[in-house]
């Protein structure tokens, strides 16, 4: 039986994610959105591209909540639905707006696809993942948030541009919450196997770290309307690959921590082994005292948001 992936929310991130997944061809795609006929239109457009591009999966669309039945039995559900950021807004400003959206939709997702891996993408990311976990009743392994893959990609991009090297030569991790206090791990960052600290002066490296933290806002400010969607959708697709293909890939993701890294009962970005079962392992790496303190700070920020939602 073919795999099935549902994308909830068909704005720029959701629509582009559906395109990336369709072009992989390993699963049928269901697109749903609260805006009447939006998902149907985008699904039909994607389906009509198949003979040209060469993929051969089934792509359908519907309007929720009435069409949630068409998502039944999904292996992965990608949740992108929510209010977008606008210039001057932080990710955290979206908290209460998106809380009800997540609660209403995740109940339907859990009812129709009780065995799926739920991949959260909307902001504020870590808090929304926590909310989805509590609302769905799923085991911790089957709720995961996309943040670290995107933030790490931005960090790698900026470093590659600075050093005029291929992005493939840059290896890095960005941990912590998907906010302004995220934690790029410079001690684990290498370029062609060489520690980045040997290639860049401290002030330039710190400037790149700060640009990474503000990476989403930089794009929001440039676009004026809307926010990033190309890199976020690519990050989502990489995570879906890991689940659908059971790759057991080590990726930085927002996962529920139960004492790991000294953090309990909270979603936070850490390295995980991602496979068919979802988060199959929290990968614990040694952090410096400074990095551990920074991770605790970002976790405290996430916990404050969770408290505001009454969880």
pLDDT in tens, 39-83: 999 999 999 999 999 999 999 999 999 999 999 999 999 999 987
pLDDT band at 255 (very low <50, low <70, confident <90, very high): very high
Q: Mean of the pLDDT values across residues 198-227? A: 94
φ and ψ of 305, to 5 deg: -65, -40
Note the pLDDT of residue 90.
Answer: 66
Q: What is the pLDDT of residue 89?
A: 65
Cis bond upstream, residue 182 (ω within 30): no
At residue 267, the pLDDT reads: 97
- Say if strands 278-282 and 264-275 run parallel, antiparallel, or are unpaired: antiparallel
Which positions ≥6 away from 145 have C-beta within 8 Å? 119, 120, 121, 125, 126, 128, 129, 178, 253, 254, 255, 267, 269
pLDDT band at 92 (very low <50, low <70, confident <90, very high): low
Take residue 283 and report the two structure tokens written for it.
Answer: 């990968």
The residues annotated as belonging to the active site are: 178
Burial class of residue 180 (count of CB atoms within 10 Å of its CB; 0-12, 13-18, 19+): middle
Start-to-end Cα distance in the chain:
38
Q: What percent of the chain has pLDDT over 90?
A: 89
Mean per-residue pLDDT, 260-281: 97
DSSP characters over the chain? --EEEEEE--SHHHHHHHHHHHHH-SEEEEEEESSTTHHHHHHHHHHHHHHHHT----EEEEETTTTGGGGTT-SEEEE--SPPP-TT--GGGGHHHHHHHHHHHHHHHHHH-TTPEEEE-SSSHHHHHHHHHHHH---GGGEEE--HHHHHHHHHHHHHHHHT--GGGEE--EES-SSTT-EE-GGG-EETTEEGGGTS-HHHHHHHHHHHHTHHHHHHHHHSSS---HHHHHHHHHHHHHHHTT--EEEEEEEEEESGGG-EEEEEEEEEEEETTEEEEEPP----HHHHHHHHHHHHHHHHHHHHTT-
Q: How many CB atoms lie under 10 A from the CB of residue 110?
A: 18
Which band of pLDDT confidence, cut at 50, 70 and 90, is reported for residue 99? Answer: very high
pTM for the structure as a whole? 0.94
Query: Domains plus CATH for the chain?
Result: 3-145 (3.40.50.720), 148-308 (3.90.110.10)
CA torsion, ordered 284, 137, 144, 104, to nearest 10 deg: -150
Q: What pLDDT sits at residue 180? A: 85
Look at residue 51 in the predicted model and tell me its pLDDT.
97
C-beta separation of 253 from 145 below 8 A: yes
The answer, yes or no, to whether residue 147 has pLDDT greater than 90, is no
CA distance 179 to 19: 27
Confidence at 292, pLDDT banded by 50, 70, 90: very high
């Amino acid at each position: 039986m073919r795999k099935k992936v549902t994308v909830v929310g068909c704005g720029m991130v959701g629509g582009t994610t559906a395109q990336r997944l369709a072009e992989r061809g390993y699963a049928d795609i269901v697109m749903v959105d609260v805006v009447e006929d939006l998902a149907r239109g985008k699904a039909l457009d994607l389906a009509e591209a198949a003979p040209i591009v060469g993929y051969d999966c089934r792509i359908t669309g519907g309007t929720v909540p009435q069409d949630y039945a068409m998502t039944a039995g999904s292996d992965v559900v990608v949740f992108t639905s929510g209010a977008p950021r606008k210039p001057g807004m932080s990710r955290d400003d979206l908290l209460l707006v998106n809380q009800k959206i997540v609660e209403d939709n995740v109940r339907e997702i859990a009812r129709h696809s009780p065995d799926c891996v739920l991949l959260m993408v909307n902001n504020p990311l870590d808090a929304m993942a926590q909310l989805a976990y509590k609302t769905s009743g799923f085991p911790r392994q089957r709720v995961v948030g996309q943040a670290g893959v995107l933030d790490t990609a931005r960090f790698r991009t900026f470093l590659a541009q600075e050093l005029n090297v291929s992005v493939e030569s840059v290896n890095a991790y960005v941990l912590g919450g998907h906010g302004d206090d995220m934690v790029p791990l410079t001690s684990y960052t290498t370029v062609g196997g060489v520690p980045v600290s040997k290639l860049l002066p401290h002030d330039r490296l710190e400037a790149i770290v700060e640009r990474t933290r503000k990476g989403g806002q930089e794009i929001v400010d440039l676009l004026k309307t809307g926010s990033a969607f190309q890199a976020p959708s690519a990050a989502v697709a990489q995570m879906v690959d890991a689940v659908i293909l059971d790759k057991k890939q080590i990726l930085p993701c927002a996962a529920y921590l139960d004492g790991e890294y000294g953090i309990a009962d909270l979603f936070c970005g850490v390295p995980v082994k991602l496979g068919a079962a979802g988060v199959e392992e929290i990968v614990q790496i040694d952090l410096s005292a400074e990095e551990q303190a920074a991770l605790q700070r970002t976790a405290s920020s996430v916990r404050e948001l969770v408290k505001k939602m009454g969880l």
